[in-house]
Amino acid sequence: MTIKRHPRNRDTDMRYFITGTDTDCGKTLVTLGFMQLCRERGLSTAGMKPVAAGALRTREGLLNSDALAIQEQCEPPLSYRAVNPYCFEPAVAPHLAAAQADTTIDLDILAQAYGELASSHQAVVVEGVGGWKVPLNDTEDSADLCRRLDLPVVLVVGLRLGCINHSLLTVESIQASGVPLLGWVANHIDANMALAEDNIQTLKRRIRAPLLGRIPRLDNPRADTVSTYLSLPAVATEC
């Protein structure tokens, strides 16, 4: 499938795929923070959560709270379905949630939805689901989606016990996929983590990509607050 895109401007257009070391590591926080930084640069900005598992039934249909937060940050505004094409009620692995809903997550549909955003917005921040290799259907996973959309990656590291191993394995898999790793973000999900700074320094020595920010444990995280702890990659990779 050919994805229609508006002409790219290397100095202004930005495209990012946000992945993480695991579920609940802070991908949505970083997505919102990046969107805020893009908006502060005066760019038309879209966020996309291609697949969401864990939603409430409403009069408007199934709605996911993270996708709603991303939708609210889009400028100009977008419909919910433009932001979140696949939404499932149970908070389980996406391919299992899709099977329960008697459907299949189709990367063609996601590529089409992304193409529409990329054709009308200078900045598009796509939040992956779960971790880097979470299955989306019987044969494809989140890494395949990233390659399909031809996007560079930012890795969110959830700082907690075990994060070094999870991070280095994820980086290794990203590199093996042939996808550019633009940088990584340290997110303090465990405020009482022992030797958190030592963990960060270990990862800085071992990950050959810049640290783009450190997000402290926030009681009431907002996009304009999170963005103060982040920086966009120095060079936006052409996609």
Q: Which two tokens stand for residue 22?
A: 């695991």
CB 99 within 8 A of CB 64: no
- Determine how many CB atoms are found less than 10 A away from the CB of residue 180: 16
Strand order in 123-127's β-sheet? 45-48, 123-127, 14-20, 153-158, 181-187, 211-215
49 is catalytic: yes
Catalytic residue among 4, 49, 133, 204: 49
- How far is it, in rounded angstroms, from Cα 117 to Cα 19? 19
Say which residue the tokens 């969107």 belong to.
35
- Exposure on the CB side of residue 51, measured as CA atoms within 13 A: 32
Active centre residues (catalytic): 49
